[in-house]
Amino acid sequence: MRRALLAPGELAGAYVPTMPEDLAKMAQTVMGGRWYNCPNGHPYYVDLCGRPTVVQQCAECGADIGGTDHNLLETNVDIGNVGTAYNQTTVLEDRSERNYCLRDAATEGADRHYSARALGPAAVQAVRLCLHAALCAGAAAAEMGGPGALAQWAQSVRPLLNTTFCNPSAEELPGYFVDHYHGNWTLLKALLNKSTDDTALALHLILLSAGGASPALEAQGAPNAPDGPAPAVPGGGALGTAEWRSAWEARCLRDHLFPVLAEAGLEERLAAAARRFGPAADGGGGGDDAGG
């Protein structure tokens, strides 16, 4: 968040948390086995021994795929040239995109149950809300910085954008992030099924935890983290590879998101937070307008 707020250009080239991944690589990692391409380049999977024994049609384009007697159709491609031996495994190259890869807020908001690797829907929206809040705050600070400051901010953000997914103009950029911020807030509130005040309290607890105050959550009834050690984040938190991003997300979930957002004990944690932070956060009696 600090870099997104103060120096977003430093994130250029990073695998940004919650961004989409290479679905074919994800499927191959989960399923293993052999993978082939149809004549039009659409991947498909063959289980058991990994060699085709039947001709079927590609689910994407209808072209013939597979083969007979363990022989691949000549028009199909053995991804990675694994060969004709049985029980081999294709290893796909990870083609996940770098940088900020979100389309417009309306398109992204249409899939309210989107998950990213270890992060479930509510966790995704919480992380994206923090990211967009930092970017919006950076734009607001630049706008107060005098002539040309906002244009300089937009120029600093430009290298972070993956223009395959989004390419707003410099003038549109602040509003683009504001729209996403409001969309994340609306989705998070709906996913938690909480009031505006309670949703804000949950975010406050997450930020306190990320800022080093996580022991306070234990006193508020935070559940134990999921079993198993949190993955180490190589490079001190760097996001230079897709694997490092996955490790960052898993650690963030374990240390900061799950202890707050887990359904078990959530009401008690929010009530304790409302008492702790004063009458302005009344634990559920606030309005329902979006904004946080």
Asked, for residue 252, whether it belongs to a domain, the answer is yes
User: CB–CB of 219/208 below 8 Å?
Assistant: no
Same domain, 64 and 153: no
Same domain, 111 and 27: no
**Range 114-119, long-range pairs (CB < 8 A, 24+ positions):** 116/17, 116/18, 116/19, 116/20, 116/21, 116/249, 117/21, 117/245, 117/246, 117/249, 117/250, 118/246, 118/249, 118/250, 118/253, 119/17, 119/18, 119/249, 119/252, 119/253, 119/257
Same domain, 251 and 213: yes
User: CB–CB of 170/154 below 8 Å?
Assistant: yes
Same domain, 72 and 110: no
Asked, for residue 285, whether it belongs to a domain, the answer is no
Ordered per-residue pLDDT tens for the chain, 292 residues: 788 988 898 899 999 999 999 988 888 888 888 999 999 999 999 999 999 999 999 999 999 999 999 999 999 999 999 999 999 999 888 889 999 999 999 999 999 999 999 999 999 999 999 999 999 999 999 999 888 999 999 999 999 999 999 999 999 999 999 999 999 999 999 999 999 999 999 999 999 998 865 444 444 444 554 555 545 544 445 688 888 898 899 999 999 999 999 999 999 999 999 998 866 544 444 444 545 4
Same domain, 104 and 244: yes
User: CB–CB of 17/3 below 8 Å?
Assistant: no
Asked, for residue 282, whether it belongs to a domain, the answer is no
Same domain, 63 and 155: no
Segments forming the whole domain that contains residue 104: 1-19+99-223+240-275
Asked, for residue 108, whether it belongs to a domain, the answer is yes
- For residue 223, the model assigns a pLDDT of 52
Rounded Cα–Cα distance for residues 260 and 218 (Å):
10
**Beta strands in the chain, from DSSP E residues, in sequence order:** 34-37, 43-46, 55-57, 64-68, 71-72, 77-78
Please give the DSSP secondary-structure letter assigned to residue 258.
H
Same domain, 47 and 110: no
- For residue 220, the model assigns a pLDDT of 46
- For residue 221, the model assigns a pLDDT of 46
Asked, for residue 84, whether it belongs to a domain, the answer is no
Same domain, 249 and 191: yes
Same domain, 11 and 152: yes
Exposure b/e, 180-204, CB count within 10 A at least 16 = b: bbbbbbbbbbebbebbbbbbbbbbb
Asked, for residue 9, whether it belongs to a domain, the answer is yes
Phi, psi of 113 (to 5 degrees): -105, 20
Same domain, 148 and 198: yes
Asked, for residue 34, whether it belongs to a domain, the answer is yes
- For residue 278, the model assigns a pLDDT of 67
Q: How many domains does the chain have?
A: 2
Give the count of alpha carbons within 13 A of 46, CB side only.
31
Same domain, 117 and 131: yes
Q: Is 47 left (phi over 0), alpha (psi -120 to 50) or beta?
A: beta
- For residue 29, the model assigns a pLDDT of 82
Label residue 54 exposed, middle or buried (CB < 10 Å: 0-12, 13-18, 19+).
Answer: exposed
Q: In what order do the strands lie in the sheet with 77-78?
A: 43-46, 34-37, 77-78
